[in-house]
């Protein structure tokens, strides 16, 4: 209880966009949702696939936390608006938005199709614009300020051939800074997490990642530790808590030191 009180998240309402994961796997969004609930927050878990969001909600409920699941295609502005309206209707307020939605791409500008380029920008950048567009007024209406965390990637800081993906994740960092400036007077802090090569169900691509590839990713860390969704979730919860009350507009790199040493390593997306 003391930890919950110190974090300042007890009773707060959190939307986790992209909070599902395959099976019982721990992706960045699911980890954050569970950790927010453990800190005493009420969690509105959103995913395009309702079953994935419901599983996260069930996992939270099994620990005695409070959560609800919601299905939405967040590339649609109307569904983003409806998502926020439903969270407000169910819980009566909104305090935190965790933006996890994203897809990858491995092509160069010569290889990439215009359609794929536009899809990556829409999913990785425009979704964060749309969710924030409707979440921020709800936070202001709730009267207690708020916190937003956008998930970027170390590919934005150290490009390595993932051109559309890298560009989109760089835009997420720029968007974060702009939103932090725009909404500081509303008491809303906006920060960003840039994951390194963490192991998640999405990265594993349904069990297709080889043991050698997974081990190579682990060794790419200075610490030689495999990052997981829990590492990203912990960073997100920290940035949304009272412990980070004097932090806004920042990008927190969570990569075990990968960006300090590694060179371009092919075309696997990170974070």
Residue 88 lies in a domain: yes
Amino acid 206: pLDDT: 62
- Count the domains in the chain: 1
* Whether pLDDT at 184 is above 90: yes
Parent domain of 110:
2-259
Q: Could you tell me the pTM of the whole model?
A: 0.92
Residue 30 lies in a domain: yes
Residue 268 lies in a domain: no
pLDDT in tens, 80-121: 999 999 999 999 999 999 999 999 998 999 999 999 999 999
Residue 270 lies in a domain: no
Return the half-sphere exposure (C-beta side, CA atoms, 13 A cut-off) of residue 192.
25
Which residue numbers are catalytic?
Answer: 165
Residue 264 lies in a domain: no
pLDDT in tens, 113-132: 999 999 999 999 999 999 99
Residue 95 lies in a domain: yes
User: Can you say whether the dihedral through the CA atoms of 224, 235, 209, 258 is positive or negative?
Assistant: negative
**10-34: average pLDDT:** 96
CATH of the domain at 145: 3.40.50.720
Residue 266 lies in a domain: no
pLDDT in tens, 32-80: 999 999 999 999 999 999 999 999 999 999 999 999 999 999 999 999 9
Residue 204 lies in a domain: yes
């Amino acid at each position: 209880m003391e930890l919950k009180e110190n974090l300042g998240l007890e009773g707060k309402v959190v939307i986790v966009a992209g909070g599902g994961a395959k099976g019982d796997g721990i992706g960045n969004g699911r980890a954050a949702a569970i950790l927010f609930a453990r800190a005493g927050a009420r969690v509105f878990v959103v995913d395009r696939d309702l079953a994935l969001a419901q599983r996260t909600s069930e996992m939270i409920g099994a620990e005695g936390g409070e959560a609800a699941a919601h299905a939405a295609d967040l590339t649609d502005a109307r569904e983003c608006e409806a998502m926020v309206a439903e969270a407000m209707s169910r819980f009566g307020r909104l305090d935190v938005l965790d933006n996890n939605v994203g897809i990858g791409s491995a092509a160069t500008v010569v290889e990439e199709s215009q359609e794929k380029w536009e899809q990556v920008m829409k999913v990785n950048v425009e979704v964060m614009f749309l969710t924030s567009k409707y979440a921020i007024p709800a936070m202001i209406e709730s009267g207690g300020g708020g916190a937003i965390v956008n998930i970027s990637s170390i590919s934005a800081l150290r490009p390595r051939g993932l051109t559309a993906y890298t560009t989109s994740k760089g835009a997420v960092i720029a968007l974060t800074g702009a939103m932090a400036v725009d909404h500081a007077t509303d008491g809303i802090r906006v920060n960003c997490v840039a994951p390194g090569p963490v192991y998640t169900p999405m990265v594993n691509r349904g069990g297709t990642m080889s043991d050698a590839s997974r081990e190579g990713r682990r060794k790419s860390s200075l610490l030689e530790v495999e990052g997981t969704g829990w590492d990203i979730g912990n960073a997100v919860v920290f940035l949304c808590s009272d412990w980070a009350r004097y932090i806004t507009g920042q990008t927190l790199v969570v990569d075990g030191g990968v960006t300090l040493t590694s060179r371009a390593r092919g075309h696997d997306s990170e974070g």
